[in-house]
A and B are shown apart, each in its own frame.
Chain A
Amino acid sequence: QQQVKQSPQSLIVQKGGISIINCAYENTAFDYFPWYQQFPGKGPALLIAIRPDVSEKKEGRFTISFNKSAKQFSLHIMDSQPGDSATYFCAASKTGANNLFFGTGTRLTVIP
């Protein structure tokens, strides 16, 4: 059973546009929600993470929105750039790094 559901599977955005990736979870015990960016042949890099005590967290062009009642969270990439083209994974866990459950990934392509 997929603990974290992620959509869309792939996304094409024009340069300068907003990229939005959504995730949903069922386990109400989850309290740590990171997003990872992965380039081909490389390891995932932590982008930004949120805990349920806040509804939004922003770091540069990246924003996480969190809706505890709906059990959903999303990543917004503002002013998307071709260098943002990568696969993005959401994840969730009951604590932190231990036993992360990853979403299935979203392949983002930003076209010039």
Chain B
Amino acid sequence: DTEVTQTPKHLVMGMTNKKSLKCEQHMGHRAMYWYKQKAKKPPELMFVYSYEKLSINESVPSRFSPECPNSSLLNLHLHALQPEDSALYLCASSRGEEDEAFFGQGTRLTVV
């Protein structure tokens, strides 16, 4: 299994909703990442988990809350988002922080 799987593929949510994005990998990778990508822009790093501990938080607003329940799973909890948070949310993983990153297909989030 060489994939990073993200669910759901698409999500539409209201500004008062609470939702979660899920990311899963079974490659034994110990580092996992959340990126945000706006249309026609490069991915921007949000969070880094290394050995299930949060190691980098790139000054992301608290309405985004990451969680790493175990080494294979990474969640991103969303609450009270704004329309400008609409974007493609990408999960990635790597064997270690010094290794190559592999991305999932992303969740296309629309906030209405």
Contact = CB atoms under 8 A, between A and B. Distances in A.
B31 A49 contact: no
Nearest to A98: B97
Interface stretch (B63-71, B74-82, B100-108): B100-108
A34 B102 CA distance: 11
A95 B103 contact: no
Interface of chain B, main secondary structure: strand
Given A89-B42, A105-B41, A34 B106 contact: no
Interface residues of B, number: 30
B42 A97 contact: no
23 contacts: A43-B4, A43-B88, A43-B90, A43-B92, A43-B106, A44-B43, A46-B100, A46-B101, A46-B102, A89-B42, A89-B43, A96-B97, A96-B98, A96-B100, A96-B101, A97-B92, A97-B94, A97-B97, A97-B101, A98-B98, A100-B43, A100-B101, A102-B43
Interface of A: 32, 34, 36, 41-46, 49, 89, 95-100, 102-105
Interface of B: 4, 6, 31, 33, 40-45, 48, 50, 55-56, 88, 90, 92, 94, 96-106, 108
